[in-house]
C-alpha cells in the first residue's frame, strides 16, 4: 500500500481530527456518540478536519465515554440465556449491539492515538466509526422492537481491554483488534444468524447481513494497515501476526470458521490454519493443567 502522507496531509485544514475524535470518544450517551461519529466522517469528507502528524502519542485511556449501563462483567460471569425465550432473544441482540458500540470507540481511538499514520489511515477509521454507529442503530432498533434497550443486559469489556494493551503500537493494534477480535465476529455472525433463523427473526437476519458485509471491509482495512506497517519495519507479515497473537495471548478462532469472509478480508488459508493449530495446542494444555492429579 503506497501513500504519499505529506501530500495527503497538506490538503487538510481546519480543526484537529484527533481532538475532534477524542471528544466523540469521550461522549457517554450512545445516541450522541453515534451522531458524533457520523458528523466526524462528514466533516472529514468536507475537508474541515486536519491531521497533525507530529502530535505525540497520547497518554493511556483506560475507559472511553460510556453510559452507566450496561453493567460490565467478566466474560466468564456473563449469564447464559436460551435464544428461544423473549429475554434470550433480546440478550443475543444486545450482545451484538454492545460489540458495535465498542467498535465505534476502537475506530475513534485509532484516529486520536496514532496521529503519525498516513492520512488515508485516518480516513479509513473515521469511515469505519461512522459505519459502526450505523450498525449500532440498526441493532438497537431491533432490540427496541422486542421491548428492550441497550443497557438492559450485562456486557463484557474484552474489546476495549485489547485496545488498552495495544495503545503503544499501531502494529499490535491492527493485528489484534481488527485481525483477531473483529475477525472472530466474521466467524460468529453466521452462527448467530442461524439462531435467529430458527426463531423466525428475519428482520434481524437482514441487519446482520449488512453488518457482516461491512465488517469484512473493516477487517480488511486492519489487514492492509498491518501489512503496511510490516513493510515499513521490514517484518514478514504472517510470522509477525502469529508472534503477536502468541505474545498477547489473544483469543483464537472458534470453529466453525467463516472461510469465505476471512479470505475476502485478506487472510490466507495457511494463516487461519496456523491459528486453529495454536487453538488446539492451547486447548490441549488447558485440559492437561485442569486434569486432577492422582
- Report pLDDT for 292: 62
Examine the pLDDT at 13 and tell me if it is beyond 70: no
On whether residue 27 sits in a domain, the answer given is: yes
Examine the pLDDT at 10 and tell me if it is beyond 70: no
Q: List pLDDT tens digits, range 74-92.
A: 888 889 889 999 999 999 9
Q: How many angstroms separate the CA atoms of 169 and 195, rounded?
A: 38
CB burial string 243-254: b at 16+ within 10 A, e below? ebbeeeebbbbe
The mean pLDDT of the chain is 93
On whether residue 71 sits in a domain, the answer given is: no
Question: What's the mean pLDDT in 33-38?
Answer: 98
**Strand pairing of 49-50 and 15-16?**
parallel
Q: How many angstroms separate the CA atoms of 112 and 49, rounded?
A: 12
From the number of C-beta atoms within 10 Å of its C-beta (0-12, 13-18, 19+), residue 109 rates as: buried
Q: What do you get for the CA distance between the two ends of the chain, in Å? A: 57
Q: List pLDDT tens digits, range 240-290.
A: 999 999 999 999 998 999 999 999 999 999 999 999 999 999 888 888 887
On whether residue 209 sits in a domain, the answer given is: yes
On whether residue 6 sits in a domain, the answer given is: no
Q: How many CA atoms lie within 13 Å of 86's alpha carbon, on the beta-carbon side?
A: 5
On whether residue 137 sits in a domain, the answer given is: yes
On whether residue 90 sits in a domain, the answer given is: yes
Examine the pLDDT at 37 and tell me if it is beyond 70: yes
On whether residue 64 sits in a domain, the answer given is: no
Question: Taking the model in full, what pTM does it have?
Answer: 0.93
- Report pLDDT for 5: 40
On whether residue 55 sits in a domain, the answer given is: no
CATH of residue 125's domain is: 1.20.1260.10
Tell which residue, 231, 20, 241, 210, has the closest CA to residue 122: 20
User: How does residue 294 score in pLDDT terms, banded at 50, 70 and 90?
Assistant: very low
**Which structural domain, as residue segments, surrounds residue 31?**
13-50+77-289
Domain count along the chain: 1
Amino acid at each position: 500500500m503506497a501513500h504519499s502522507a505529506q501530500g495527503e496531509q497538506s490538503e487538510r485544514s481546519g480543526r484537529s481530527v484527533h481532538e475532534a475524535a477524542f471528544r466523540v470518544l469521550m461522549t457517554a450517551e450512545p445516541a450522541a456518540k453515534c451522531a458524533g461519529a457520523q458528523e466526524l466522517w462528514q466533516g472529514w469528507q468536507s475537508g474541515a478536519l486536519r491531521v497533525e502528524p507530529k502530535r505525540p502519542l497520547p497518554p493511556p485511556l483506560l475507559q472511553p465515554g460510556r453510559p452507566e449501563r450496561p453493567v460490565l462483567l467478566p466474560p466468564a460471569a456473563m449469564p447464559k440465556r436460551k435464544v428461544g425465550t423473549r429475554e434470550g432473544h433480546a440478550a443475543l441482540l444486545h450482545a451484538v449491539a454492545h460489540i458495535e458500540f465498542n467498535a465505534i470507540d476502537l475506530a475513534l481511538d485509532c484516529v486520536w492515538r496514532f496521529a503519525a499514520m498516513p492520512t488515508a489511515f485516518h480516513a479509513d477509521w473515521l469511515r469505519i466509526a461512522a459505519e459502526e454507529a450505523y450498525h449500532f442503530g440498526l441493532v438497537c432498533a431491533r432490540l427496541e422492537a422486542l421491548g428492550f434497550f441497550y443497557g438492559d443486559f450485562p456486557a463484557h469489556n474484552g474489546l476495549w481491554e485489547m485496545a488498552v494493551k495495544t495503545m503503544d503500537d499501531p502494529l499490535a493494534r491492527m493485528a489484534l483488534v481488527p485481525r483477531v477480535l473483529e475477525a472472530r465476529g466474521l466467524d460468529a455472525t453466521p452462527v448467530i444468524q442461524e439462531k435467529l433463523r430458527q426463531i423466525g427473526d428475519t428482520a434481524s437476519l437482514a441487519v446482520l447481513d449488512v453488518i457482516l458485509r461491512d465488517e469484512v471491509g473493516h477487517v480488511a482495512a486492519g489487514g492492509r494497515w498491518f501489512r503496511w506497517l510490516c513493510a515499513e519495519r521490514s517484518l514478514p507479515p504472517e510470522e509477525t501476526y502469529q508472534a503477536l497473537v502468541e505474545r498477547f495471548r489473544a483469543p483464537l478462532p472458534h470453529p466453525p470458521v467463516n472461510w469465505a469472509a476471512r479470505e475476502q478480508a485478506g487472510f490466507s488459508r495457511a494463516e487461519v490454519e496456523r491459528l486453529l493449530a495454536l487453538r488446539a495446542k492451547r486447548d490441549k494444555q488447558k485440559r492437561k493443567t485442569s486434569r486432577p492429579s492422582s
